Amino acid sequence: MSDPKLTWTQVHARRSARHGLTVPQPSARPADAARAMCGAHAQVLSAAELSIGLRLDGATRADVRAALWEKHELVKTFGPRGTVHLLATEDLPVWIAALSALPAANPFPDGIRFTAAETDAVVAAIGDALADAELTTDELGDEVVARTGPWAGERTMPAFGDMWPRWRQVISAAAHRGVLCFGPNRGRKITYTSPRRYLPDVAPLDGQDALAQLVRWYLTSYGPATPHHFAQWINAPRGWATTLFGTLGDEVERVDVEGTEGWVVAGDTAPADEPPGGLRLLPYFDAYQVGCHPRDQVFPGPARERALAGSQAGNYPVLLIDGVVAGVWHLRRSGRRLAITVEPLRPLTAQRLGELDGEVARVGAILEGTPTLTVGPVAVGPHA
């Protein structure tokens, strides 16, 4: 029997709908939006606030901040690829078990790189120090050294023109083992705390079961996709990801997308009810553009050169039309004023220009500012 068939238009429609980008979800919470995209990239918190707000009806950055810092329905921690994400707190047990079961890699050379025993000791010290506290990086370093020894504080790690203490190489590992997440900033300084303060009854999960759940979540949001796509998204070896997919057996199935093979959760082969209509302004590293593959379908034609860095997505905020990248944009904030410049990569019809005006107003509402729109070249480079 032949594999079920989908078109790329149907794939874009499925993904857009599941991300809440076709129609914002009126009854969803910020945690639901984060779950629907398998985490919101939050290296720049305002980008995560916009990513989540775009997927909800009537939400603002204040709602996202309340979900994060007051209700603790979201947690800011190190997620896929070891980068800062907002994750649904309820999903943290799966994330912790899955991320800590990934193939380990430590890029640091001998003399700096911790042994497994040293890593365990520092992670345990971090867990003890943060169990009931919010500590700045320097405060946490002092606590780690006091609990382990001077070796953990040796300033031997080159970083940003400085030398960092050795213990900082395991911050991501501590997060993936469930003993560290971000607390609210103290002035200009970040703080760390324990996620167990917000989710005290974290039951340990089997790592393989958690990885299987993570694959199912990824395929639901970004499928059809291949093991190689999953590997790039999670930052793991391709061969390892292929083996992982193989362990899922009949829990996943293949589909044919105009001659390209991909995988979905078993039985999840139906097209979306509606076409991938709509225009959206996605921020830096929005999960949709980072997680969707293949790149030539999501970034067609000139979008590949204008909005990608090699195969890496997210370096530019993008204009999304009907589920594919059709331009880039930039926001400059000054107080409440939001100067938004949009560079379409193809002419916009009068209808699309009207949609763009509406989307700019919506971005202003989410970010609690007063926007102005300029349609023209974006002169700044990536990450500006």
Query: What pLDDT, in 10s, does the model give residues 221-247?
Result: 999 999 999 999 999 999 999 999 999
Q: What letters, b where the CB count within 10 A reaches 16 and e where it falls short, cover 180-211?
A: bbbbeeeeeebbbbbbbebbeeeeebeeeebb
pLDDT of residue 276: 84
Kindly indicate the confidence band of residue 25, based on its pLDDT and cuts at 50, 70 and 90.
confident
Cα→Cα distances 261→12, 247, 258, 300, Å: 15, 18, 8, 19
The string of pLDDT tens digits covering residues 69-81 is: 999 999 999 999 9
pLDDT of residue 384: 57
Cα dihedral sign for 360, 361, 363, 369?
positive
pLDDT of residue 273: 83
pLDDT of residue 1: 64
Q: Is the pLDDT of residue 44 over 60?
A: yes
Using a pLDDT cut of 90, give the percent of the chain over it: 84
Mean pLDDT score, 359-365: 98
Angle at 88 (CA atoms; ends 83, 91), nearest 5 degrees: 95
Cα-Cα-Cα-Cα torsion 226, 228, 230, 232, nearest 10 degrees, comes to -150
Contact by Cβ (8 Å): 230, 215: yes
Cα separation, 77 vs 343, in Å, equals: 33
Domain boundaries, the chain: 1-25+35-59+206-384, 26-34+60-197
pLDDT of residue 43: 92
With residue 344 as reference, give the H or E element that holds it: strand 337-344
The string of pLDDT tens digits covering residues 119-139 is: 999 999 999 999 999 999 999
pLDDT of residue 14: 96
Q: Is the pLDDT of residue 354 over 60?
A: yes
Mean pLDDT score, 245-273: 95
pLDDT of residue 75: 97
pLDDT of residue 264: 98
Using a pLDDT cut of 70, give the percent of the chain over it: 99
How would you classify the pairing of strands 252-257 and 155-159?
unpaired
Picking from 77, 31, 83, the residue whose alpha carbon sits closest to that of residue 284 is 83
The string of pLDDT tens digits covering residues 140-192 is: 999 999 999 999 998 887 777 788 899 999 999 999 999 999 999 999 999 99
The residues with which 164 forms a beta bridge, in sequence order, are 157
Q: What single letter denotes the amino acid at residue 203?
A: A
pLDDT of residue 143: 97
